Amino acid sequence: MADLSRLKRKGACCHDLLSNLFELSDSDLELFFILLGRSPMTVDDISEACGRHRSTVFRILQKLESSGLIYRHTANIREGGYYHEYSIQEETELEKIVQERAEELIDSIRKRIQEFASDIKKSNAVANAEDQR
């Protein structure tokens, strides 16, 4: 996970939030924001827009899709065949996904704090038992 302290600093933005919550790189975020302004787009459209190879774009799209931030739609070609278009989730769905991910992170941090407190108590109990010997 990226450095969460970036979220506390003055001037933190949605780029920092998405980067931290979903472990997205600058390249991942670049594609996300390209889609944000122009979706739906095909892999070829995105590749042209960002100047990256199709395979790189496809890999990033898979990551964004697995995070739930974007979705893929299959469109049929009249003459036969199909192609995929990628779009950003609707605004309300994006907010929900980000909120859920933030809550998962908060729950995970709370659990680590509880484990930490438990470990401290166990360590103190062991130290006290050794002192009493």
pLDDT, one tens digit per residue, over 17-73 is 899 899 999 999 999 999 998 879 999 999 999 999 999 999 999 999 999 999 999
**Residues 31 and 83 grouped into a single domain:** yes
Residue 97 in contact with residue 69, Cβ under 8 Å? yes
pTM for this entry: 0.78
**Residues 11 and 29 grouped into a single domain:** yes
Q: Which of 7, 3, 2, 27 minimizes the C-alpha distance to 17? A: 7
**Residues 75 and 13 grouped into a single domain:** yes
- 78-129 pLDDT, tens digit per residue, is 999 999 999 999 999 999 999 999 999 999 999 999 999 988 988 887 777 7
Indicate the number of domains in the chain.
2
Domain end residue (candidates: 55, 74, 89):
89
- Domain carrying residue 125: 90-133
pLDDT score for 130 = 72
